[in-house]
Amino acid sequence: MADTITAQSAASPALALRHGRNYARRYWVFIVPAALVVLTVIVFPWLFTLYMSVHEWHIGGTRSFAGLANYARLFTDDRFHWAVLHTLYFTVLAVVAPLVLGVAAAECFHRNFRFRAVARTIFILPMMATPVAIALVWTMMFHPQLGVLNYLLTSVGLPPSTWVYDSTTVIPTLVLVETWQWTPLVMLIVLGGLASLPTDPYEAARIDGAGPWTMFRLITLPLVWPFIVVALVIRTIDALKAFDTIFVISQGGPGTSSETINIFLYLQAFAFYDIGYASAVVAVFFVLIVAISLVLLGVRQRARWQ
C-alpha cells in the first residue's frame, strides 16, 4: 500500500492531442498484466470482504447469511467504540507532532552547513529501518526499572515515566515512537517544497528589514502550504493505519487502553476467527479512512487555488 499523493504532471499533452483518444487507448495493453495482479490481490479482497461482512462466519465453523447484523453489532460494541476513540486520539497526536517537527527540520536542512548530507542521512534512517526491529529496541528502552529512557529522565532531574505500562501514558508513548519514525517523511516532502521556492520575495523582504520569523510566517509558510497539506494527508492515512509498532510494543494494552481499530480488527480476525464481524470492521474502517482523506484533500484543493 505504498504510494503517493502528489500533483501529477501533465503527460505529454501534445502527443495525445495530435493522435486523439484512440491513440492513447492503445497503451492499455501495457496496463493489462498489472491490472490482473491488482484485480486478484486488491480488488478481489475488497469485494470478498463486503460479501463476508453480511455473513455470520467463523474460520473452521459454520457460516450463514446475517444481513446487516455484523454492522448493527458494531454500533453496540463498546470495545469497538473505544478502539475508534483510541485511533482518533492517536492519529491527531501522530499527525500534529511530526508535521510541526518536520517543517522545523526542513527549515534547518534547507540551509547550507557542513556535514549536511551526513546529518540528513542520519535523520532519515528511522523511516527506512525495519519497524519491528525498532519497536523491540524501544520496548527495551521503555523498561520501567532498567530502561535507558527513565535513566536519562532522572539524570536530568525529571520524574521517571510509566511509558507503555500505564493506560494514561501508553498512547502518547506510542505517538513518540511514531513521531520518531515518520517526521523524516514530512521533512523530505516539505524540503522538496522549499527547494522549489523563488528567492526574490526573500530578498525584497530582507531589504524591507524583515526578521527570519516574519519571513517564515509571511513568505515560506504560505508558499510551502500545498506541500504541508500533502504531508498532512499522507501522515493522517498512515497514522490511522498504524499497526506494527503498536502491535509489537503494547499489543493494544495495558488492558485495551491502546487498542486501535487495526489492533481490534486483528484480534477479531486472527485471534477470535470471527471473520464476518472483522469484515464489517474493515468496511467501516475503510469508509472512515476515505472520508477523512476526502475532507483533507478538499483542504488541499483549496490550498492549490489560493
Partner 1 sequence: MRSYRLRRIAGRFGLYLSVLALISPALLVFLWMISLSLKTEIDNMDYPPVFIPHPPTLDNFAQVFARNDFLTYTKNSVIVSFSATALALLVGVPAGYGIAKARATRAAMLILIARMTPGLSYLIPLFLLFQWLSLTGTLVPIVITHLVITVPIVVWVMIGFFEGLPAELEEAALTDGATIWQAFRHVALPLARPGVTVALILSFIFSWNNFIFAVVLAGRETRTLPVAVYNVLTFEQISWGPLAAAALCVTAPVLLLTLVMQKEIVAGLTAGGVKGG
Q: In the range 29-48, which residues lie near partner 1 by CB under 8 A?
A: 29-31, 33-38, 40-42, 44-46, 48
Q: Is 3 in the site for partner 1 (CB under 8 A)?
A: yes
Q: Give the shortest CB-24-to-partner 1 separation in angstroms.
A: 4
Q: What is the DSSP letter of 274?
A: B
Count of residues touching partner 1 (by CB under 8 A): 103
Give, as ranges, the residues between 82 and 111 that touch partner 1 (CB under 8 A): 101, 104-105, 108-109, 111
Q: Give the shortest CB-120-to-partner 1 separation in angstroms.
A: 8
**Among positions 66, 83, 97, 265, the unique one binding partner 1 when judged by CB under 8 A:** 265
* Closest among 76, 39, 79, 116 to 258, alpha carbons compared: 79
From the list 73-81, 166-174, 197-205, 268-276, the region that binds partner 1 by CB under 8 A is: 268-276
Q: From CA 210, how far away is CA 202, in angstroms rounded?
A: 9
Q: From CA 126, how far away is CA 105, in angstroms rounded?
A: 14
Give, as ranges, the residues between 111 and 150 that touch partner 1 (CB under 8 A): 111, 113, 117, 119-126, 128-134, 136-141, 145-146, 148
Give, as ranges, the residues between 52 and 71 that touch partner 1 (CB under 8 A): 52, 59
Residue with smaller CB distance to partner 1, 92 or 137? 137
Q: What is the DSSP letter of 245?
A: H
Three cell numbers written together for 85: 476513540
Q: Give the shortest CB-255-to-partner 1 separation in angstroms.
A: 18
* Closest among 53, 39, 180, 192 to 110, alpha carbons compared: 192
Q: Give the shortest CB-167-to-partner 1 separation in angstroms.
A: 21
Could you tell me where the DSSP H helices lie in 43-199? 44-53, 69-76, 78-109, 116-128, 131-141, 148-155, 170-195
Q: Give the shortest CB-172-to-partner 1 separation in angstroms.
A: 15
**Which helix (H) or strand (E) element contains residue 243?**
none
Give, as ranges, the residues between 272 and 301 that touch partner 1 (CB under 8 A): 275, 278-279, 282, 285-286, 289-290, 293
Q: From CA 270, how far away is CA 262, in angstroms rounded?
A: 12
Q: Give the shortest CB-215-to-partner 1 separation in angstroms.
A: 13
CA dihedral 192, 194, 198, 201 (to 10 degrees): 170
Q: From CA 205, how far away is CA 217, in angstroms rounded?
A: 12
Q: Give the shortest CB-291-to-partner 1 separation in angstroms.
A: 10
Q: Give the shortest CB-169-to-partner 1 separation in angstroms.
A: 18
**Among positions 94, 103, 189, 228, the unique one binding partner 1 when judged by CB under 8 A:** 189
Phi, psi angle pair for 55, to nearest 5°: -125, 150
* 117, burial (CB in 10 Å: exposed 0-12, middle 13-18, buried 19+): exposed
Give, as ranges, the residues between 198 and 237 that touch partner 1 (CB under 8 A): 230-231, 234, 237
Q: Which amino acid is at 188?
A: L
Q: From CA 7, how far away is CA 230, in angstroms rounded?
A: 9
Answer for the pair 56, 66: CB distance below 8 angstroms, yes or no: yes
Q: Give the shortest CB-6-to-partner 1 separation in angstroms.
A: 5
Residue with smaller CB distance to partner 1, 258 or 262? 262
Residue with smaller CB distance to partner 1, 95 or 282? 282
Residue with smaller CB distance to partner 1, 35 or 221? 35
